[in-house]
Structure 1
Amino acid sequence: MKRSRPAPAHAGQRPRRSGRALTEPFLAVRAGHWGRAADGSTGWPSAPNLLAELVRAEYHRDGPAAPGPPALASPQDLVLAGLRRRLRLGKAPTPAECVRLLLEGGDHTRAAVFDAWPDVVRLHGPARAQTALRAGLRAGRAPEAVPQMLDLAAAAGLRPLTRTELAGAASAPASGRRVRHAAWRLLAAMGEHSLIPGVHVAGDAYERALLAALGGKPPIGPDPTGTRPGLLVAQSMLMGHLDRPGEGMSGGLGVLLGSLGDALADTEAVAGVLTVVTADLAGLEADPCLVRRRGRGHWVLRIPVDSDHQIRPEETGEHREAMTWWATVLLTSLRRPVDVLHVRYADDGSLALAEAARRAGTSLVFTATPDPHRQMTERYGAPGADPLALRNDLHRVFLADRLVERADRVVGIAGRDGGAAELVRYFPQLVDRCAGGAPSAPPEGIPPYLPPAHGARRRGVLLRAIDDAAAPDPEDGRAAASVLLSVGRLHPVKQQDLLVRAWIASGCHRRAVLVLVGGGPHSGDPVERMMRARIEEALCTRPEARRRLLLLPALPNAEVRMLERALADPARRLSARYVCPSAKEEFGLALLEAMEAGLLVAGPLRGGVPHYVADGRNGLLVDTSTSLTLGEGLTRLLAVDDARAAVMAARARSLVRSTYSSAAMARALAEQYAAVTASRAAPAGRPLPAAPPRRGGHAHGA
């Protein structure tokens, strides 16, 4: 099950060993699993602790190494932990075990089975796999697992049902929508196209697209590949919308990948770029075409998702097999193959795309980050930790490990030394992958500023709203306020509610107007509604603060950067600062944009921001873990006089403009992509995966 691969061409710096890395229990156990330290089981609390029980069960090579029977972990927890442990050791379960796990396990267990299935079929043979699936499908249990079993059969070219049985599944009523769709996909894989209905029976835009693709004609529009020499690169952006940052799950990643795709398409080594996004039912009804030009050489490829809303990362597990099928079909429907697929987030959607890359014969690059690894012990090691959040974070850690295992190349986000040496603390398996060194870390960056259309008018509207909130109040004698700006999607990890509480509790609301930019103006997003309710609750403690809080809906990125430039203008009578209150930021593109505009910034101590913000030199680093510490940081930020703030902001602007540009990032990534495709052309001990057959330029099965 382990995949041998040559060492990367650029191993990077040798990682520094940290005592903290080996004494922090969660990291120590992971290091011990990969033979990088002693067992690592010391340091856990002696009292019953769910994190300790689950981690011991999942990582100890010989099974749970606990002093006694688990007190908090459920039998299902232990079964899942055992499965993950076996997969990390390269031991595939039998097909019958996989089917039992599908029928009896939850979503996280099914995700592990999905990832293991190609190796299960390879090691145990198609006949055993087909027999196991047939027994599972005829058992009549766990109907929610039926679509996955049908899709696993299609992925391996198996026939677990008779033609008559499958025809019955293919005509399932509306209540069995996912069963029906999975049966259609299996019929196509079996070559039984006569049993697949025509597009005329489709009930909506998703089914129209699916039936067209099953007929060999996915609605991709004009082929985007062109004739220019070079690599065809795909990059995934499965969270939110590409061009609507600040709404729902849309954030800095969309801005980054939009500008990066444009910049990559301008490099000599890259012929074209496909940015892979998702399209829900409303999006498909509005535009059924799955490939649209974004710019010269840059295209957006839309994966249909059978959902009435833009799916969130935690929902991708419900759609992973269908997403894999769609991605495989689209990647193999182009006139020329996609050379490299780059995924950046450890969720089930990225794992689905990784499997599609394997089926399509496409190289895979994964950007690994220590999220949620770096806070596991702190967050869950004490009594009272949220068990559901713990299980979800352990699932994300597992997905990241599987993506590292599947990837042809792993890259990180640059640290202070310009490399990703720190990443090895969280992914000890990378030591062998990188020949004792660390992954390379292409620089991240932002595009050059381009003024928006009608910029002067919009600038005036936004500044008037801020000036009104910051104006002196004759009733209570308050002077004109400074401005604190914060931009980001409304989400618990961004902590705008904590920022409001800290702003009030520290008394900073008497000195500064707080401007929050983010969220949809009429959003039905439940997370945004929750965040607005939390902000409103914080305001109830100090009703007088309400006048000095300005909550603006998400703005186009060009307008945000225009506003930041306007606030940084020294000719304005009000001083302005930028604050990022996030619990952590792996990189912090919005912070970089504020620095580039000339604002003095404060960002979180945790995450990647300390890699480019030096406290007291070009910005401030703030402990954002509590409202008290965040309030202390706001007080520090407002206490910096304008002259010193100008010097610090100038240093920050110079750093960003010289180091963190999307063009530099594109050049570095183009080199990475060229290297990984060159090494894959002559693999050492690793056979290339078979690509699906191409018939008339379209994939008829996956």
Structure 2
Amino acid sequence: MNRSHTARVRAVPAGHHPLRAGPRPAGENPSEPFLAVRAAHWRAPVAGGSPGWPGTPHLLAELVRAEYRGGGPATVPAVFATPRDLVLARLRRLVRAGGVPTPAECVRLLEDGDHARGAVFDAWPDVVRRFGPTRSEAALSAGLRTGNAPEAAVAAMLDLAAAAGLRPLTRPELRAAATAPGRRTRHAAWRLLRATGGRALIPDVRTAGDAYERALLALLGRDPSADRVRAAPRRGVVVAQSMLLGRLDRPGEGMSGGLGVLLGSLGDALAGTAPVARVLTVVTACTPELEADPVLLRRRAPGHWVLRIPVDSGSQLRPDESGRHREAMAWWTAELFARSAAPVDVLHVRYADDGSLALAEGARRAGTRVVFTATPDPHRQITERYDTPAADGTALRDDLHRVFVADRLVGRADRVVGIAGRDGGAPELLRYYPQLADRDGGGAPSAPPEGIPPYLPPPREAARRAELLRTVDRAVAAVPEPADAGAAVLLSVGRLHPVKQQDLLVRSWIGSGCHRHAALVLVGGSPHDGDPVERAVRARVEDALRACPEARRRLVLLPALSNAEVRMLERGLADPARRVPARYVCASAKEEFGLGILEAMEAGLLAAGPLRGGVPHYLVDGHNGLLIDTSCAKTLGEGLVRLLAVDDASASEMAARARTLVRTTFSSAAMAGTLAGHYAEVAAARAERPLATVR
């Protein structure tokens, strides 16, 4: 349907961006201070500008100066940073430089909060190697006997002792710790008993208070050699891939997103790709999930198994909670990998968080090699978000912790890969990770193409599609139809989360006047109202609607659908026979890749994605879609206007180019083939040389 009140958008060749609106993506500024400081730290060439912030002092400048000795003279006194901040920054600087703190320093730092415990956890293997077990054991013994350390620090000390097989407590002291009221202390003491030959003091599984303790005591009570006896003959590489947040097969609910869809299809494809013999997709299971299903290993498809890492929590693991479970997750990983029917050769982790660091440490203990997908997140937004005295200090500290974790994963990984850019590689990673320039002969890291599986229709496809389209059409019918144009549909799919910005999308839809021309369909979120993050996003959407009651009937809020149903709905909306223009919009603050956008493009919808992040690597503005600035309501609204202003003929041309690109380049089968080669090379290196020391 041609719409005469809209402007025709001229398609252009790939690589040209005449329609790009708003600023360049964050991180493209060559003189960006945070990146310059990091480059100077690794003695890499600094592209433009000099390290540091010459203007008004603020927390970011002080923390970065302390952590990297960049951004100004080290003698400048701190105004915004606390003494604890400076101690942690010095620890990170030491570790980045290849040094290690003393065992006594490590014990003291365990009381300085979760970020400090994370740095100690990462450094501990090298601490014991450098200073020896006797000195390390003595430091833990002194720390445990002070009697005033918080439980988190006590549990961490016990777990550090277990990781190195140390005995910092006498048997009576350890027996008392094993019956302590605090769960973290009690569980860590059980693990230490197991590591130091005290299995007889571990409680019987029948005394467990819940499903998590049953799983823990059952594993502690089993003889690992019994599992190894059943090991199957090796016929290929055994690969583990991690997805620690959300559920594998329920995208759009809670923390479940596109990664679950990716790893589900990728694991299936890898299992049938030579030389991979077996794939384990590693997920987490909280206590209620273990109560409902205590099985830790279950087959998903031929050659593809799901391995569940128990987490002592009453709800699904959230990003800000993984540090609390870091030591326990490392233990579970090492134990379960060691008990696998065949040794796990390679673990692939994809996020820079405490959970991924825990799995990498567990893999080291089990003799498993590590592959890490590095992304410039949150690196690319550090200066943009925090270069002001009014910045959120808590968020800044969390992001600097994630940058540190990413650096440590790069150091631990046997191979670092990136997400493919326009040229098929990942050269931009060298700006965010200058240390990569000295690895693997230099040059940009390899970037295996990410992809989506072929569309498989869901059960009752025709009936279910008709049901969903009727829901959409009721909203379309509520849109005023000018005499010269019909109503359109804007579709957005994603979990309800602040980074996905559904509330900002609704405000922009209303504020730009697009609600007078298009119905908005949001798909995502749990069908119930139990998740606090989802509740907050829904509340902000409601606030936006209260300001414009007429928009309510033109908004469709659908709970998360299966991936097959989402793709079926997209195909239905893209069908030219419907004669209702439909567009897809991703309003995320940024997407490192954006699998949901690829799925919409594959279905034949004209898609708009965020300027920030990795979407510009495959979506060329005005050629196979639109790039929009999603940084605020005003620019997002302008992007929606642009999207609806594309006439049907141009939209069809761009959508056709997009569909061809996805179907020829971004498939899970192609991704599996490329990754299988990486895994085989990394596994072969395992037999040729011992595991590297953490760098």
TM-score range, shorter chain: over 0.9
Contact 1:242 1:254 in 2 (8 A): yes
Within a 5 Å distance, the mapping from 1:359-370 to structure 2 comes to: 359-370=365-376
* Offset of residue 523 of structure 1: 3.0
Measured in 2, the distance between the counterparts of 1:124 and 1:221 equals 34
Tell me the equivalent position of 1:127: 134
1:614 match: secondary structure = coil
Tell me the equivalent position of 1:645: 651
Contact 1:21 1:28 in 2 (8 A): no
Measured in 2, the distance between the counterparts of 1:353 and 1:405 equals 14
Q: TM-score, normalised by structure 2?
A: 0.93
Tell me the equivalent position of 2:65: 56
User: What is the CA deviation profile of residues 442-476 of structure 1, one whole-angstrom value per residue up to 9, with x for unaligned ones?
Assistant: 00000000000111121111101000010156899
2:76 match: secondary structure = coil
- Whether 1:345 aligns to 2:354 is no
Tell me the equivalent position of 1:432: 438
Kindly tell me: are residues 276 and 42 of structure 1, through their superposed partners in 2, closer, same or farther at Cα, counting changes over 3 Å? closer
Contact 1:317 1:348 in 2 (8 A): yes
Kindly tell me: are residues 458 and 217 of structure 1, through their superposed partners in 2, closer, same or farther at Cα, counting changes over 3 Å? farther
User: What is the CA deviation profile of residues 42-89 of structure 1, one whole-angstrom value per residue up to 9, with x for unaligned ones?
Assistant: 45142121101100100017x973562111001101000000000000
Structure 2 counterpart of 1:618, one-letter code: N
Q: Tell me the percent identity.
A: 71
Tell me the equivalent position of 1:138: 145
Structure 2 counterpart of 1:50, one-letter code: L
* Offset of residue 434 of structure 1: 3.3
Tell me the equivalent position of 1:408: 414
Contact 1:624 1:630 in 2 (8 A): yes
Contact 2:499 2:590 in 1 (8 A): yes
Contact 2:479 2:519 in 1 (8 A): no
- Whether 1:357 aligns to 2:363 is yes
Large movers: runs of 4+ above 3 Å: 18-22, 37-43, 220-228, 472-480, 686-690
Structure 1 counterpart of 2:217, one-letter code: L
Kindly tell me: are residues 264 and 475 of structure 1, through their superposed partners in 2, closer, same or farther at Cα, counting changes over 3 Å? closer
Q: Which moved more, 1:136-145 or 1:645-654?
A: 136-145
Contact 2:478 2:554 in 1 (8 A): no
Contact 2:309 2:332 in 1 (8 A): yes
* Offset of residue 573 of structure 1: 2.4
Tell me the equivalent position of 2:160: 152
- Whether 1:492 aligns to 2:501 is no
Structure 1 counterpart of 2:454, one-letter code: P
Tell me the equivalent position of 1:383: 389
Contact 2:545 2:551 in 1 (8 A): yes
Tell me the equivalent position of 1:241: 247
Measured in 1, the distance between the counterparts of 2:41 and 2:480 equals 66
Contact 1:472 1:479 in 2 (8 A): no
Tell me the equivalent position of 1:15: none
Contact 2:227 2:340 in 1 (8 A): no
* Offset of residue 41 of structure 1: 5.5
Measured in 1, the distance between the counterparts of 2:41 and 2:693 equals 28
* Offset of residue 142 of structure 1: 2.5
User: What is the CA deviation profile of residues 244-272 of structure 1, one whole-angstrom value per residue up to 9, with x for unaligned ones?
Assistant: 00001000000000000000001011001
Within a 5 Å distance, the mapping from 1:16-27 to structure 2 comes to: 22-27=30-35
Within a 5 Å distance, the mapping from 1:136-215 to structure 2 comes to: 136-143=143-150, 144-173=152-181, 176-215=182-221
- Whether 1:483 aligns to 2:489 is yes
* Offset of residue 406 of structure 1: 0.2
1:125 match: secondary structure = helix
- Whether 1:501 aligns to 2:507 is yes
Tell me the equivalent position of 1:100: 108
2:169 match: secondary structure = coil
Contact 1:518 1:555 in 2 (8 A): yes
Q: 1:542 aligned to 530, 540, 548, which one?
A: 548
- Can you give the 5+ residue segments of structure 2 that lack an aligned partner in the other structure? 1-25
Tell me the equivalent position of 2:6: none
* Offset of residue 537 of structure 1: 1.0
* Offset of residue 543 of structure 1: 1.1
1:342 match: secondary structure = strand
Measured in 2, the distance between the counterparts of 1:27 and 1:231 equals 37
2:498 match: secondary structure = coil
Contact 1:602 1:622 in 2 (8 A): yes
Within a 5 Å distance, the mapping from 1:624-639 to structure 2 comes to: 624-639=630-645
Contact 1:519 1:528 in 2 (8 A): yes
Contact 1:358 1:689 in 2 (8 A): no
- Whether 1:418 aligns to 2:427 is no
* Offset of residue 481 of structure 1: 2.1
Within a 5 Å distance, the mapping from 1:423-462 to structure 2 comes to: 423-462=429-468
User: What is the CA deviation profile of residues 627-669 of structure 1, one whole-angstrom value per residue up to 9, with x for unaligned ones?
Assistant: 1111111011101111111111001000000000000000000
Measured in 1, the distance between the counterparts of 2:246 and 2:636 equals 28
2:520 match: secondary structure = strand
Q: Which moved more, 1:516-525 or 1:469-478?
A: 469-478
Measured in 2, the distance between the counterparts of 1:597 and 1:178 equals 48
Structure 2 counterpart of 1:167, one-letter code: R
Q: 1:47 aligned to 56, 65, 73, which one?
A: 56
Contact 2:227 2:341 in 1 (8 A): no
* Offset of residue 224 of structure 1: 11
Contact 2:353 2:405 in 1 (8 A): yes
Structure 2 counterpart of 1:200, one-letter code: R
Contact 1:57 1:64 in 2 (8 A): no
Q: TM-score, normalised by structure 1?
A: 0.92
- Whether 1:327 aligns to 2:333 is yes
Tell me the equivalent position of 2:616: 610
Structure 2 counterpart of 1:113, one-letter code: V
Tell me the equivalent position of 1:255: 261
1:571 match: secondary structure = helix
Contact 1:274 1:301 in 2 (8 A): yes
Measured in 1, the distance between the counterparts of 2:638 and 2:615 equals 18
Within a 5 Å distance, the mapping from 1:25-40 to structure 2 comes to: 25-37=33-45
Measured in 1, the distance between the counterparts of 2:550 and 2:620 equals 35
Measured in 2, the distance between the counterparts of 1:257 and 1:385 equals 36
1:274 match: secondary structure = strand
Measured in 2, the distance between the counterparts of 1:616 and 1:509 equals 23
- Whether 1:110 aligns to 2:117 is yes
Contact 1:57 1:65 in 2 (8 A): no
Q: Which moved more, 1:379-388 or 1:79-88?
A: 379-388
How many correspondences in the alignment? 666
Measured in 1, the distance between the counterparts of 2:46 and 2:276 equals 45
2:305 match: secondary structure = strand
User: What is the CA deviation profile of residues 664-686 of structure 1, one whole-angstrom value per residue up to 9, with x for unaligned ones?
Assistant: 00000000011112223223xx6
Structure 1 counterpart of 2:40, one-letter code: G
* Offset of residue 383 of structure 1: 3.1
Contact 1:93 1:120 in 2 (8 A): yes
* Offset of residue 524 of structure 1: 1.3
Kindly tell me: are residues 67 and 91 of structure 1, through their superposed partners in 2, closer, same or farther at Cα, counting changes over 3 Å? closer
Contact 1:323 1:353 in 2 (8 A): yes
Measured in 2, the distance between the counterparts of 1:225 and 1:600 equals 51
Structure 1 counterpart of 2:372, one-letter code: F
* Offset of residue 141 of structure 1: 2.1
